[in-house]
Structure 1
Amino acid sequence: MTIGGTLTLVLPIEDSSQIGHARRTAQKLAEQHGFDATDAGRVALVTTELASNILKHAARGELHIRTLPRPNGAGVEILAVDRAGGFDLQACLTDGFSTGGTQGIGLGAVSRQTDVFDVYADSRGAVLLARLYPRSDKAPDRRIGVSQHSLHNDPACGDVWHLAFDGPRISVLVIDGLGHGEEAERAARAGEKAFAVAPFASPLLLLGDMHHAMIGTRGGAAAFAQFDGDALKYVGIGNIGGCLITPDKSRGLASHPGIVGGQYRKAQPFDYAHVNGHLLIMYSDGLQSRWNLQDYPGLVHRHPAVIAAVLHRDFCRARDDVTVVVVALEAAHG
């Protein structure tokens, strides 16, 4: 199974009038991807409560929404993101709790409506994750997270990501086409198309195919990681950031200078043994590189989608396209 990269849909929540729009948007998305009326209704209910929760506790924030391709169909992911401190998680998880004088079904009830529910909150703000799948979909949740945003909400994005799964194997790609806009996207998509043909091929052959596909475009920075259930191979050209993280350690992943589709003098795959259980984080240079998960106690144990959203919220440069991909390296992905 492969998952082609898509932008995160961002819905500002700054006024109660925006709650209805968010609910309708999420419900329509669910219906378009095969949710029946009951399951789409769950999506609408959860979206309403998460948006309302932002206004109650933070006054303003955003909902980040994306579809989650599955072997049979798709799920819907909703992230509530804010920058306000003072979020009382235990109180909010109590059914009927409301600081706004409304009835409120409580995040506890929301968590029971969802297939995946997770939260991270501290003085910098809160991120709440809800993932919903049709009740007929019994496949396990994939512990991956992606946050991708184009500069100035341009419909074209020069960043591209791609994920491939084959049993316990995972292959992860991030490309940053030079500049931004349509020409940058064309360059990145050319590389992605070549990668998608054989995402588990020998790293240098795969990089060569991507390079040839990107000749004649602007070119770009590119990196991919191949996980076999135990070890990981990593190849990077240009300034795609990559790291392997455990609760007590972080290792940067090495890249070589150059431009894929342009010129690079050297390419070498690096091998990292026994990384099952690690987090893999890859990101374009639209994200600052000075972040450290240890500055966020407990975040390493949260769902990868929460981690990606926190990193985007706090470290986006806001002057380029930005992509953050977080993958829990687990042989049980199957």
Structure 2
Amino acid sequence: MSRIIDSVRDCKLLHSNPVQSESAAILLRSKVAAIAQRLGFSELKRENMALVVSEMVSNQVKHAGGKGMLQIWQQPGPVLDILSLDYGPGIANLSLAEADGYSSVNTLGKGLGSIRRLSDQVHVYTQQESHGREKRWNGTAILARFCPSGKQDCPVVGRHPVLNIGLYSRSLSDERYNGDRIYVRQDHETLRWMHLDGLGHGEQAEKATADLAGLLQHYDAPAETLAAVDRQLHNSRGAVAIIGELGLGNRALHILGVGDMHAHILEHDGMHNYSFAPGVLGKEHKSPEVTSLKFDQRCVVITASDGIRRNWDVSNFPGLFNLHPQLIAYVLGNIMGRISDDQSVCVASIG
């Protein structure tokens, strides 16, 4: 029986720190070393992480003028992610910037190249300032990923090279309890997930979404799973939810939901946005309908709670959705998240 991933247990923001000067590296190196040791990483891995943090801080100070942050995340595995995200001018030529010896500020120019060599995986997204009428984020996001046993263990879910997932889940004001929750199950070539948002926030919202993992094991069809969630939530505060199933073998997506959550599906012909049946599971709601799609090429499915704003499309983040799902989740969560609610994003890709 496959293990169920639970975002409350397996996806954690362990530290977040603004980067305004080189001194930020001192605290961040100490934090990442302590976290990595607790998670069982080797001394060599911890040394590499400290060097990556130093390079990231240096890059942000030099190129983004202190307008950025570094985050340390635990993902299933346990995988440790170091995320650098800034609001700088972006990188004009990423391939050139990753070459040793290149620098736009008359330094040694080893930052991005060093980060790539020292990490098990590196994913980069950059966007230069737009001069059009619509204001959009500009800057650079760098994800450096470390896995205890090396690169072969880095995929968040399973080891299939074309089926992957990215998780972002953050509680209101980074408090202890998080009412947003994502359960994930992978069997062979099928990925199933349950994305929930307990009503309100805090301890009772988290409690409402707890103890539902077994439903992903017991039921296969998304409609049956959602009906079981509805029954189990009858004596709780209630929640809204999306159930998704993505199959590599049959090249099919099935998705349905209840309540104020949203989904975005990206195929070769662009992005399609979806909302769901009004109401609350465990209380009153309209009957949900399953959306089923077939696809021939790459498909990216994004589900999000109402803690993530909806007013974006592919034009706001050109090129992002061709990248690793985890980097997509981090960028959307940090840029489009509402500070007044729990926030969560699940990004599943196939192809």
Name the TM-score, length of structure 1 as normaliser. Answer: 0.88
**Please, which of 76, 79, 98 is the counterpart of residue 80 of structure 2?**
76
**Please, which of 98, 101, 108 is the counterpart of residue 93 of structure 1?**
98
**Please, which of 93, 118, 126 is the counterpart of residue 121 of structure 1?**
126
Which deviates the most, 249-258 or 179-188?
Answer: 249-258
The answer for unaligned runs of 5 or more in structure 2 is 130-137, 157-163
**Please, which of 45, 51, 55 is the counterpart of residue 61 of structure 2?**
55
Q: Could you tell me which residue of structure 1 aligns to residue 213 of structure 2?
A: 193
Which deviates the most, 228-237 or 134-143?
Answer: 134-143
Question: How far, CA to CA, are the matches of 1:201 and 1:36 in structure 2?
Answer: 39
Q: Secondary structure at the match of 1:164?
A: strand
Say if 2:131 is the partner of 1:131: no
Residue identity in the other structure for 1:32: R
- Aligned 1:1-334 pairs, distance under 5 A: 1-5=3-7, 6-9=11-14, 10-58=16-64, 59-70=66-77, 74-88=78-92, 89-90=94-95, 92-95=97-100, 105-122=110-127, 123=129, 124-136=138-150, 138-139=152-153, 141-142=155-156, 143-190=164-211, 192-198=212-218, 201-229=220-248, 230-274=251-295, 277-330=298-351
Residue identity in the other structure for 1:2: I
How far residue 326 of structure 1 moved from its aligned partner, in angstroms, is 1.1
Question: How far, CA to CA, are the matches of 2:245 and 2:204 in structure 1?
Answer: 28
Check the 8 A contact 1:8/1:65 in 2, yes or no: yes
Q: Could you tell me which residue of structure 1 aligns to residue 161 of structure 2?
A: none
How far residue 56 of structure 1 moved from its aligned partner, in angstroms, is 2.0
Could you report, residue by residue, the CA deviation over 1:125-168 in whole angstroms, capped at 9, with x for unpaired residues? 11111112235562463432222222222121111112211111
Question: How far, CA to CA, are the matches of 1:104 and 1:233 in structure 2?
Answer: 47
Q: 1:129 to 1:140 in 2, by over 3 A?
A: closer
Question: How far, CA to CA, are the matches of 1:249 and 1:91 in structure 2?
Answer: 29
Question: How far, CA to CA, are the matches of 1:317 and 1:268 in structure 2?
Answer: 28
Check the 8 A contact 1:235/1:269 in 2, yes or no: yes
Check the 8 A contact 1:308/1:326 in 2, yes or no: yes
Q: 1:17 to 1:195 in 2, by over 3 A?
A: farther
Q: 1:65 to 1:247 in 2, by over 3 A?
A: farther
Name the TM-score, length of structure 2 as normaliser. Answer: 0.84
Question: How far, CA to CA, are the matches of 1:247 and 1:118 in structure 2?
Answer: 22
Q: Secondary structure at the match of 1:300?
A: helix
How far residue 222 of structure 1 moved from its aligned partner, in angstroms, is 0.4
Q: Secondary structure at the match of 1:108?
A: helix
Residue identity in the other structure for 1:193: A
Check the 8 A contact 1:170/1:228 in 2, yes or no: yes
Q: 1:248 to 1:76 in 2, by over 3 A?
A: same
Question: Identity, % of aligned pairs?
Answer: 28
RMSD: 2.4
Residue identity in the other structure for 2:309: Q
Question: How far, CA to CA, are the matches of 1:48 and 1:238 in structure 2?
Answer: 43
Which deviates the most, 270-279 or 105-114?
Answer: 270-279
Could you report, residue by residue, the CA deviation over 1:169-216 in whole angstroms, capped at 9, with x for unpaired residues? 1012211111111111111224x4344443x52223211221222222
How far residue 24 of structure 1 moved from its aligned partner, in angstroms, is 2.1
Residue identity in the other structure for 1:236: G
Residue identity in the other structure for 1:84: G
The answer for unaligned runs of 5 or more in structure 1 is none
Q: 1:101 to 1:189 in 2, by over 3 A?
A: farther
Question: How far, CA to CA, are the matches of 1:315 and 1:297 in structure 2?
Answer: 15
Question: How far, CA to CA, are the matches of 1:227 and 1:40 in structure 2?
Answer: 36
Q: Secondary structure at the match of 1:189?
A: coil
Residue identity in the other structure for 2:246: F
Q: Secondary structure at the match of 2:30?
A: helix
Check the 8 A contact 2:256/2:288 in 1, yes or no: yes
